[in-house]
Structures are given as structure tokens and as C-alpha cells.
């Protein structure tokens, strides 16, 4: 699977791409991420990419010319199909696990990141991208959203996780859509909190039953919390704030 990212700040991606799972997936040839600086398609000695909105208003807009020409050049790269063009936008379709799964079946994604106050409308009118948001809050630019998309999609690419069961165990992928059960590693006791005995028992049917019950308990607690707003993420009552 191939990702192409168009951005004014390609350096933002370098740490993320050279660590951990992404690095492994790239080193194994399971995925590739190609960064493109939109400014390379800007004209003139100032390489201008943004300008003030006609009609007035705050901030600067990315100009249509450099963006449209950058996307067209990248999508036309001879050695790959044009792929799916995704524009990072707080107004877009919300990313969720089912969209990540759908995107992971594509062999090429082209991710367009904006900055400032957005794009000249002709970028959207000419390129007809799919607009995608990662949630209801405003980011300073699309780069973090693009990394989020890459991160959620690449782990669904066959072979990337090594252990394919890991995907299906994730709470958003499991059929029942319960939260995950609690997990523990060494030490067996930490600050007075002990690992439940059943997990040390070696009795796998009992362990499976405990995990199923724990996941159900957490899910029920989370649903109550969403109704009341009174509980913390473990579903435990939140301590009363100090008066
Ligand atoms: Cl994709 N971009 C920006 N700028 N802000 C966002 C977003 C994207 N998703 C949520 N907020």
C-alpha cells in the first residue's frame, strides 16, 4: 500500500515515519509513504502558496494553483494508479474504524494537508477530493489528521502487525463492540494493587470467561458514564472535586 502526502511541512512526518510500527512496515516493503512539498509547485522567486481571501476576512488561504498542480503531478506518477484523494478538513466525513477498514483495501491513498484558514474553493471544485475529519475539534493543519489516517489504516494492511489476531481483538473491530478487558504485566503487585489471581492460574477457559465478564462490565459502566457524565474512563465513580 502506498501513501502520498502533500503538505507545506513534510518535516512534521519524519519522526513518526522512522519509529516503531511504521518504520517496520516500510522496512518490510509492506507500505511506502511519499512526502511532497506543495511549495515545490509554487511560482516565482517567492514561491508563494497562500494569499488573502477576496472579500476580506481573517487569515490566509492556500492558493488553487500550487495545490491543484501538485496533486495532479503526484497522482500522475507513472508507476502507480491515481489512488483515492483525501483532503484533511474539519468539515469532512468523520474517520472511524469502518472508514479505516474501507481505506485499507485501497492500494494508494493521496492525502492533502492544508494550513492557515483553508483552501481556495477551486481546489475542491477541480479535484473533487473526499474530505475527511478526524473529530470535532480544530487542528492547526491537516498533518496530524493525515498521520492519524495513515496510522489507523496501515495497521490493517495484511502482514503489518505480524499477528493478525491483534486487529480482530481491537475493541472497535470485534463484533460485539465491547470495550477491551483489563490487562496486566509484571510485577504481580504494584503499589498495593494485585493482578487478579485467575490470570495467574493457567486455566485458560477461566481466563477467557473472566475477560469476557470484565469487558462486559466495562462496557456497561461506560454506557452509564456516557448517560450520566459522572464516571471516569475505567467506569469507576469519579472522586468528588475538592470543594
Ligand atoms: Cl482533517 N483538519 C483540521 N485542520 N482540523 C481538523 C481535522 C482536519 N479534523 C478535525 N479537526
Is the beta carbon of 138 within 6 A of some atom in ligand 1?
A: yes
Whether residues 134 and 206 fall in one domain: no
Whether residues 116 and 6 fall in one domain: yes
Question: CATH number of the domain that 221 lies in?
Answer: 1.10.1270.20
Whether residues 147 and 215 fall in one domain: no
Count the residues in the chain: 243
Please state, in angstroms and rounded to a whole number, the distance separating the CA atoms of residues 25 and 154: 8
Is the beta carbon of 87 within 6 A of some atom in ligand 1?
A: no
Whether residues 107 and 201 fall in one domain: no
Give the pLDDT confidence score for residue 57 in this predicted structure.
95
* Mutational pocket test of ligand 1: of 130, 138, 143, the residue with most ligand atoms within 8 Å of the beta carbon: 138
Q: Are 64 and 32 in contact (CB under 8 A)?
A: no
Whether residues 123 and 178 fall in one domain: no
Please state, in angstroms and rounded to a whole number, the distance separating the CA atoms of residues 90 and 141: 10
Give the pLDDT confidence score for residue 240 in this predicted structure.
59
Give the pLDDT confidence score for residue 45 in this predicted structure.
95
Is 238 contained in some domain? no
Give the pLDDT confidence score for residue 101 in this predicted structure.
97
Is the beta carbon of 89 within 6 A of some atom in ligand 1?
A: yes
C-alpha cell at 60: 490566509
Q: Which residues of the chain have pLDDT under 70?
A: 78, 163-166, 168-169, 173-176, 230-243
Cα–ligand 1 centroid distance for 162 (angstroms): 31
Q: What do you get for the CA distance between the two ends of the chain, in Å? A: 54
Query: Which tens digit of pLDDT belongs to each residue from 166-224?
Result: 676 677 766 567 899 999 999 999 999 999 999 999 999 999 999 999 999 999 999 99
Q: How many domains is the chain built from? A: 2
Question: CATH number of the domain that 79 lies in?
Answer: 3.40.1280.10
> Domain limits at 213?
174-228
Whether residues 97 and 26 fall in one domain: yes
Residues classed as catalytic: 90, 117, 155, 170
Amino acid at each position: 500500500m502506498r501513501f502520498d502526502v502533500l503538505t507545506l511541512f513534510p518535516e512534521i512526518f519524519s519522526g513518526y515515519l522512522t519509529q516503531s510500527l511504521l518504520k517496520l512496515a516500510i522496512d518490510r516493503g509492506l507500505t511506502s509513504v511519499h512526502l511532497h512539498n506543495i511549495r515545490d509547485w509554487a511560482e516565482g522567486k517567492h514561491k508563494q502558496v497562500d494569499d488573502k481571501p477576496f472579500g476580506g476576512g481573517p487569515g490566509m488561504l492556500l492558493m488553487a494553483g500550487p495545490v491543484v498542480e501538485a496533486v495532479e503531478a503526484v497522482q500522475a506518477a507513472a508507476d502507480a494508479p491515481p489512488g483515492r484523494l483525501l483532503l484533511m478538513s474539519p468539515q469532512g466525513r468523520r474517520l472511524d474504524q469502518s472508514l479505516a477498514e474501507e481505506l485499507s483495501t485501497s492500494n494508494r491513498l493521496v492525502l492533502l494537508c492544508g494550513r492557515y484558514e483553508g483552501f481556495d474553493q477551486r481546489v475542491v471544485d477541480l479535484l473533487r477530493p473526499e474530505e475527511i475529519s478526524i473529530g470535532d475539534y480544530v487542528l492547526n493543519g491537516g498533518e496530524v489528521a493525515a498521520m492519524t489516517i495513515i496510522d489507523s489504516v496501515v495497521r490493517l494492511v495484511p502482514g503489518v502487525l505480524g499477528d493478525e489476531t491483534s486487529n480482530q481483538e481491537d475493541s472497535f473491530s470485534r463484533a460485539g463492540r465491547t470495550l477491551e478487558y483489563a490487562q496486566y504485566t509484571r510485577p504481580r503487585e504494584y503499589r498495593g494493587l494485585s493482578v487478579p489471581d485467575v490470570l495467574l492460574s493457567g486455566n485458560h477457559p477461566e481466563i477467557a470467561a473472566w475477560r469476557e465478564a470484565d469487558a462486559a462490565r466495562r462496557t456497561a459502566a461506560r454506557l452509564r458514564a456516557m448517560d450520566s457524565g459522572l464516571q471516569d474512563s475505567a467506569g469507576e465513580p469519579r472522586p468528588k472535586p475538592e470543594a
